[in-house]
Amino acid sequence: MSRSEASSSSIISVDALEKTYRGGTFLRRGDVHALRGVSLQADRGQVFGLLGPNGAGKTTLIKILLGVIRSTGGRASLFGLPAGSAEARSRVGYLPESLRVDRHHTARSALRFYGKLSRLDSDTIGQRSDDLLELVGLKGRDRESVRRFSKGMLQRLGLAQALMHDPDLLILDEPTDGLDPVGRSEVRRVIERLRDAGKTIFLNSHILHEVELVCSHLAIMAKGNVLATGPIAEMGGASSSDHETIAVEMEFELPHADSSTGGDSVAGSNAAVEEQILSSAVEGSVQWFADPVDLDSCRAGYRCRLLCADRAAVDQIVDRIRSADGSLIRLVPHRQTLEETFMRLVESESMAAMS
Ligand SMILES: Nc1ncnc2c1ncn2[C@@H]1O[C@H](COP(=O)(O)OP(=O)(O)OP(=O)(O)O)[C@@H](O)[C@H]1O
């Protein structure tokens, strides 16, 4: 254990990391700022998810952590050691998005091959293979050709290869991508077992539900920036508890709204109320959370979901509805899902980039 690691439980530490791919060739027109000052930290024993849409910079960050490419600014360290250094690298297991195992292998011969690559001796390879085949649920299938393996089985074999040298940190690139629900749940179970065995796991995904099911901590990235990072319980998620922001679903009737007056007047009233409420959003205490919808075909009304920063913001919104001559029908506390958090952050990042 290095001295800096001993003083901290931090396994991955990324600080103001930047990566600019230089353009100027006939294929690439200009510079691409793939990472624009990314900071995050993953601690020992966490299952840390990196979530973001295509082009967010996830793969670039992983490549820097593995030492495959160099950053153009900021710092990244693993176990307190510079990312990419031989010592740091020797303590990391990596499962790429599509690990290709030669088809002539069995699971056992593939592990022997990877064990030799890691310079393990034969006894250690034999012992670790037994343990890992058991761990990933391939014991009993280890002498079959991998040609007969499902994608899920191949992925579990990939996890076993990444673990051959008993790393402290496992970096997984889209570990459940392309798997059917059974395959995904099998891979998830392996990840959970590894977490229980004290490994730190850093995984990259764009499958929100998978991240929600398996991760304890999360960073949401878009366009080279970290938009939010922290425990998943604070971002909305399967295990989320109440948190500071208050999402409320409200229904209110519109002033002068009468179904007999036709759609235009209803639309006009909607717009007036929307304008009133949006002016609160502009003040920064309230954000739109879901598109407003009509209540039903008989009653002219309005239903929308808003994310309020605090109770004062809820009061403010209620005041706005009243001053627009609206009347509140329902106010329902709403637990924010991870998907809603994700969409809100990514959409506001896109809007900021456009403005
Ligand atoms: N070698 C490269 N040269 C130039 N630009 C690159 C290179 N690699 C990635 N990029 C660009 O950097 C940005 C971030 O890409 P990156 O692959 O890191 O994102 P990602 O979040 O992993 O996306 P995906 O989920 O699609 O894999 C993108 O705009 C991408 O086009």
Tens digit of pLDDT for each residue in 209-225? 888 889 999 999 999 99
Distance CA 35, CA 55 (A): 10
- Sign of the CA dihedral with 224 first, then 230, 234, and 240 last: positive
Higher pLDDT, 275 or 203: 203
- pLDDT value of position 244: 46
Question: Quick check: CB of 205 below 6 Å from ligand 1?
Answer: no
Kindly give the distance from the C-alpha atom of residue 59 to the centroid of ligand 1, in angstroms, as a whole number.
7
Predicted TM-score of the model (pTM): 0.75
Q: What digits encode the pLDDT tens for the residues 246-268?
A: 666 666 665 544 444 444 554 55
Distance CA 44, CA 197 (A): 11
Which one of 60, 205, 206 would you pick to mutate in the ligand 1 pocket, going by the greatest count of ligand atoms within 8 A of its CB? 60
Average pLDDT of the chain is 80
Average pLDDT over residues 154-174: 93
Distance CA 181, CA 183 (A): 5
Higher pLDDT, 53 or 16: 16
* Strand 200-205 with 169-173, pairing: parallel
- pLDDT value of position 262: 46
Q: What digits encode the pLDDT tens for the residues 176-206?
A: 888 888 888 988 999 999 999 889 999 998 8
Q: What digits encode the pLDDT tens for the residues 281-333?
A: 545 555 554 454 454 544 455 666 666 666 777 787 778 777 766 667 677 66
Give the residue, by CA position, lying nearest to ligand 1 atom 6: 21
Nearest to 91, CA basis, from 171, 28, 160 = 171
Residue 109 pLDDT grade (very low, low, confident, very high; cuts 50, 70, 90): very high
- Percentage of the chain exceeding pLDDT 70: 70
Give the CA dihedral 15, 16, 21, 22, nearest 10 degrees: -130
Distance CA 173, CA 95 (A): 6
Report DSSP letters for 88-126, one per residue: HHTTEEEE-TTPPPPTT-BHHHHHHHHHHHTT--HHHHH
Higher pLDDT, 61 or 271: 61
Nearest-atom index, ligand 1, CA of 206 = 25
Contact status, residue 261 vs residue 268, Cβ threshold 8 Å: no
Task: Judge if ipTM > 0.85.
Answer: yes
- pLDDT value of position 5: 47
Distance CA 336, CA 353 (A): 25
Q: Under CATH, domain 246-333 is a member of which superfamily?
A: ACT domain (3.30.70.260)
Contact status, residue 320 vs residue 276, Cβ threshold 8 Å: yes
Contact status, residue 275 vs residue 306, Cβ threshold 8 Å: no
Contact status, residue 46 vs residue 217, Cβ threshold 8 Å: yes
Q: What digits encode the pLDDT tens for the residues 229-241?
A: 999 887 765 444 4
Distance CA 198, CA 9 (A): 12
Start-to-end Cα distance in the chain:
47
Does CATH place domain 10-231 in 3.40.50.300?
yes
Kindly give the distance from the C-alpha atom of residue 34 to the centroid of ligand 1, in angstroms, as a whole number.
6
Q: What digits encode the pLDDT tens for the residues 79-94?
A: 999 999 999 999 999 9
For CATH 3.40.50.300, the residue range(s) in the chain are 10-231
For CATH 3.30.70.260, the residue range(s) in the chain are 246-333
- pLDDT value of position 242: 42
Q: What digits encode the pLDDT tens for the residues 110-131?
A: 999 999 988 899 999 999 999 9
Distance CA 307, CA 285 (A): 9
Kindly give the distance from the C-alpha atom of residue 21 to the centroid of ligand 1, in angstroms, as a whole number.
9
Average pLDDT over residues 91-114: 90
Kindly give the distance from the C-alpha atom of residue 207 to the centroid of ligand 1, in angstroms, as a whole number.
17
